[in-house]
Structures are given as structure tokens and as C-alpha cells.
Amino acid sequence: MNFDEFKKALEDNGQEHILKSYERLEESAKAKLIEQVEKIDFVKMRELYESTKKAPEVSESIIEPIAYIDSNKLSEEEKADYIRIGETAIQENKLAVVTMAGGQGTRLGHSGPKGTFDIGIPSHKSIFEIQCDILKEANEKYGVTIPWYIMTSNENHQDTIDFFEANDYFGYPRTEIGYFFSQNELPMIDEDGKLILNEEGLIKLAADGHGGVFEALVTGGILEDMKKRGAQWLFIAAIDNVLVKMADPLFIGFAIKKEYKIASKTIPKTGPEERVGVFCKKDGKPYVIEYTEISPEFANMRDENGELLYGEGHVLLNLFHISALEEIEKFKLPYHAAHKKCSYMNEEGVVIAPEKPNAYKFETFLFDAFAKMPEIGLLRGKREIDFSPVKNAEGVDSPETARRDYMRYHGIEER
Ligand code: UTP
């Protein structure tokens, strides 16, 4: 794109304010800005902006509870059977793992990638190393090296690689961890649909949500790599969970034995108010209702055993057969707009830190892919062994709770 084309693209799309910033930039940054504009799908951006103005549709969908299996209530034989099947699959190198680490971690407020954060356990291992340890233990137990792919975003890609380099990949075989793959990004816009500029005067981009993982698995060559290795199952989880069991034979065996193409390990909600999405069926398809979407009436409904009818929390512990990933990749997942506080450079070149939300970020959600499949296997896990996330700087789901849960799980005494 030359300058005239760049100018025309901006003018045609009501984004002339970008030209003012262009004038202020050094030559190399000017070229970068042109490159950014060339990549923008303005039609899509206009549609996304218009979606922020629409009132939420009144849903006429039918929401129903969804069946799940409680791993804590399996018979000893069933358990042993699943574990045997899962262990065989791991030993036969059928498993690969993706850690999604492309998020911005805004609530935690740590300046680097979330995986570099030290939650304060005595060894002061970072979350990346905590998760790496979990895989190393599985490798040792099953005599394999599980391929570990790490999804980053442009914003933290290099910092993530630098951190692994500086820490010698925590002793993980370099050839099996060779894939740091970046997810896609979208421009952020303000409340008038104008592109936002970052502190450098370039267009502010943000990762396109954890639903971006499906496209990134293809563009990043991960599915190809899995095929080359003969891996059939991909466990996809978040960087923020310090208890994540990336190679759980019971869970893998459950999916294989029951012939599911997608399975999710659920964690029962602590109570109707817990802020976590829950599984249900929407118009007969698997679905996750966000805590913001569920009515108090539904959130409080219980079955004959006193269990919440909508109580199986989705906490990003998901297993996909490679064929399901190929299927899902063909669909476009819906975008969700998030209204965010976002500092920006104004037309005079001054950086402004707003006090209230001023910008929209557009994300796709991994769990919207579930509705693309006819069924999902749900296995209820246990919070104290499967899930303790680092989301907030303090209070619930913070470094403090994660440290406590990690220490308790590993039997480490508080000093
Ligand atoms: P969250 O939705 O909790 O977001 O991501 P976050 O970035 O960690 O934190 P906030 O909301 O900005 O405070 C859950 C998981 O999905 C990953 C995150 O890295 C985390 O592991 N994620 C999220 C991505 O990989 N890409 C995204 O675009 C969004």
C-alpha cells in the first residue's frame, strides 16, 4: 500500500485522524502504520462497531441442563478402566498440550506476560515453570515427551520467548517446546468507531480472545505438527491455573472410551453467585452461559439431590480430538465486544489515561465452539486438585489464593 492508498483507505472509512499521527512519526514507524492499515478489514470493523450499538437480542432459545459424569462417583472398575485407556494413549504419544497465554492479564496488572508472574511459593517459580513442572512429571511417569505449544499474542510474544530462553526452557526438551505461536489481533475502537492510537502513535491492537486459538492452531502450524507426530488429542488450557493437570489419564480415558470428540473437565460452582460460566444445552447444543447472562432464577435451580442444575463451571480445561479441531476451524465464532478503559494518544499527540471505559475490544470465546459440535463429554473434576486461577490482583482467584492452593496440594508448609 502506498501513501495515497493509505490516505484513501482512511478517508473512505472515516479514520482521517490517523493521518495526523502519521505526520508526527519517524520514517520506520510511518511504514509500520501503513502496514497496519493495510491489514485492517474495515467492513468487518464497521460491523463490529455497529454491533456495540444494538440492544441485546431477547433470546428465545431453549436453555436446559446438560448431563455430566462426576469423576468422584465413578466405581473403582470404571476409574481403573479410564485410567488404563488414558495412560496407554499418553504412552503412545497421542497427547499434545496447548497453553493459552495470549491474554492481557489486565485484572492482575503485572507488567509482563502472566506466565512470568511469581505467586510467591517458596521456590519463587513463575507460573510458566509451575506448569512446566506438571508436564515434566507426566513425561517422567509415562516415559514420553509431550509436545507443549504455547499460544501468545503479538503484545507478549517476544517477552514470552525471551523468558523461556533466559530460563533455559526450564529443562524441557527444546525440540518439543519449539512452538510459540501467536494468535490474531483486531484493532480497538472508541465509542464513535474511530481507531485508537497507542502510546507510540500506532494503531492499538488487541488479541482476538481465547476463541482465536482454533485459527491460530492452523496458521501457526500446530495441527500440522501434531499430525506429523501422530498426536490425536490436544488438551487446551489457560496459563492462569496453577493446578492444571495437563495429562490426566482419567479424563483422556473418559473421552476415548465414551467416543467424545470434545470433553471438558468441569468444576462445580462454589454457589449460585460464583462468577463463572456454566454448561447447559441451548437449543439442544452444548453451550456455556456466562455468569452475566444467567438469571438468578436459573442460577439457583437445584436437582433432586440438591445439586445446582446449572452448576458445572467451565474453567478452560478442554480436550479436543484433532478431527474436532479441523471441524471447528471451518466455522467463524461470534465476536463479543468488551467495553474497556484504554489509554490512547489523542489528535494532539498527548497520551490520555481515561477514568472510565472509552474503547471496545472484540473477542471470540473458545467455548462458543462447543455449539458447533453435536455433543461434549463433561467430567466433573475437583477444585482442590484441578483448579486455582490467578485472575485478580487480590481477593478471590488472586496470587494469594493460588499460592495457598498450590502449597496445600503439594503439601508444602507455610513458613
Ligand atoms: P481471561 O479471559 O481470564 O483473560 O483469559 P486474561 O488476559 O488472563 O485476564 P484479564 O481478563 O485481561 O484480566 C483466560 C485465559 O485465556 C487466555 C489468557 O492468557 C488466559 O490463559 N487468553 C485470553 C488468550 O490466550 N488470548 C486472549 O485473547 C484472551
Identify the structural domains of the chain with CATH numbers, from first to last.
1-39 (no CATH), 71-268+312-410 (3.90.550.10)
On whether the pTM is more than 0.85, the answer is: yes
In the chain, % of residues over pLDDT 90 = 91
Q: Is the pLDDT of residue 272 over 80?
A: yes
Q: What is the pLDDT of residues 146-205, one digit of tens each?
A: 999 999 999 999 999 999 999 999 999 887 666 899 999 999 999 999 999 999 999 999
Residue 58 confidence (pLDDT): 65
Residue 178 confidence (pLDDT): 60
Say how many Å lie between the CA of residue 174 and the centre of ligand 1: 25
Range with the poorest average pLDDT among 77-81, 121-125, 131-135, 345-349:
345-349
Nearest CA to ligand 1 atom 9: 105
Q: What is the pLDDT of residues 122-141, one digit of tens each?
A: 999 999 999 999 999 999 99
The ligand 1 atom nearest the CA atom of 209: 28
Say how many Å lie between the CA of residue 398 and the centre of ligand 1: 14
Residue 54 confidence (pLDDT): 85
Say how many Å lie between the CA of residue 62 and the centre of ligand 1: 29
The whole-chain average pLDDT of the chain stands at: 95
Looking at residues 76-95, what average pLDDT do you find? 98
Residue 243 confidence (pLDDT): 98
Q: What is the pLDDT of residues 193-238, one digit of tens each?
A: 999 999 999 999 999 999 999 999 999 999 999 999 999 999 999 9
Residue 114 confidence (pLDDT): 97
Residue 60 confidence (pLDDT): 85
Annotate the chain with three-state secondary structure.
CCHHHHHHHHHHCCCCHHHHHHHHCCHHHHHHHHHHHHHCCHHHHHHHHHHHHCCCCCCCCCEECCCCEEHHHCCHHHHHHHHHHHHHHHHCCCEEEEEECCCCCCCCCCCCCHHHCECCCCCCCEHHHHHHHHHHHHHHHHCCCCCEEEEECHHHHHHHHHHHHHCHHHHCCHHHCCEEEECCEEECEECCCCECECCCCCECEEECCHHHHHHHHHHCCHHHHHHHHCCCEEEEEECCECCCCCCCHHHHHHHHHCCCCEEEEEEECCCCCCCCCEEEEECCEEEEECCCCCCHHHHCCECCCCCECCCEEEEEEEEEEHHHHHHHHCCCCCCEEEEECCCEECCCCCEECCCCCCEEEEECCHHHHHHHCCCCEEEECCHHHHCCECCCCCCCCCHHHHHHHHHHHCCCCCC
Measuring from each residue's beta carbon to the nearest atom of ligand 1, which residues come in under 6 Å?
Answer: 100-107, 114, 151, 153, 183, 207-210, 212, 238-240, 316, 363, 391
Q: How confident is the model at residue 55 (pLDDT cuts 50, 70, 90)?
A: confident
Q: Is the pLDDT of residue 31 over 90?
A: yes
